[in-house]
Amino acid sequence: MIAAMNYKPPLESSSSNNSKINASVIWLHGLGADGYDFEPIVQKLDLPNVRFILPHAPDMAVTRNSGYIMPAWYDLYGLTGNSQEDESGIATSQKYVNALIQHELNRGVASERIVLAGFSQGGAIALHTAIRYPEKLGGILALSTYLPLNTKLTTEVHRANAGIPIFMAHGVFDEVISLEMCKRSLNILQHNHYAVNWHEYNMAHSVCVDEINDIRLFLKHVLLQDLVE
């Protein structure tokens, strides 16, 4: 469980000056990484007028990794459908991401032009947070991840994001989060009428060039990029 948090200021990246920013992507890294992990990828996306927010998870002891202290969005006990989940830690990260969203709203970005993105554990928080958020968001990028606390889906989701576009991608050779586990989450989302743009890639627990290209197309679509460049 995550105790008192000390969050470092998020990294920010954009290819436009601040006066032209009209969309934001909040992108959460995976377990043991930091906000710099996806900086090269967002630079490759080269999307004008979009601000990428790359937060850093706080350090904490991770049970699955023998209590080793590392950046984590919540404690992890296992990665099977029956594993215990850190509900309190997930809720803490959800509140933090909600605060990041509010900061973008305060800067003048409309909620429907804010996308939550994440890889692995960060993707789990992006999914968990976005479908519960009380204002319409632009979309979700869920990369090599799964839906946490899925048994609470029907009682906790908010109708404001019932139709949110979801880009969900996974590597067929992923040995960290199995393709089977990810597909279980996919099926749950689809059963609850979420529109999921599903992609599989010949990769392990990582990101590949084809995936980056597909992410660019998804973001351009949900942010109506061609209309605002």
Q: Which two tokens stand for residue 211?
A: 């995936």
Provide the pLDDT confidence category of residue 160 given band limits of 50, 70 and 90. Answer: very high
Neighbouring C-beta atoms of residue 12, cutoff 10 Å? 16
Neighbouring C-beta atoms of residue 178, cutoff 10 Å? 15
23 vs 4: which has the higher pLDDT: 23
pLDDT of residue 3: 39
**SS3 state at 34:** coil
Q: What is the pTM of this model?
A: 0.94
Using only C-alpha atoms, what is the Rg of the chain?
16
- Give every CB contact of residue 74 below 8 A, 6+ residues apart in sequence: 2, 86, 89, 90, 92, 93, 121, 125, 148
How far apart, in whole angstroms, are the C-alpha atoms of residue 229 and residue 223?
A: 11
pLDDT of residue 226: 55
Q: Which residues are catalytic?
A: 120, 174, 205
pLDDT of residue 225: 62
The architecture of the domain spanning 11-228 is 3-Layer(aba) Sandwich (3.40)
* Residue extents of the structural domains in the chain: 11-228
Residue 90 has pLDDT above 60, yes or no: yes
How do strand 68-71 and strand 59-62 relate by DSSP bridges? antiparallel
What average pLDDT does range 153-176 have in this prediction?
A: 95
- Give every CB contact of residue 17 below 8 A, 6+ residues apart in sequence: none
What average pLDDT does range 35-51 have in this prediction?
A: 93
Residue 83 has pLDDT above 80, yes or no: no
pLDDT of residue 46: 87
Question: Cα-flanking dihedrals φ and ψ of residue 163, to 5°?
Answer: -105, 20
Residue 108 has pLDDT above 60, yes or no: yes
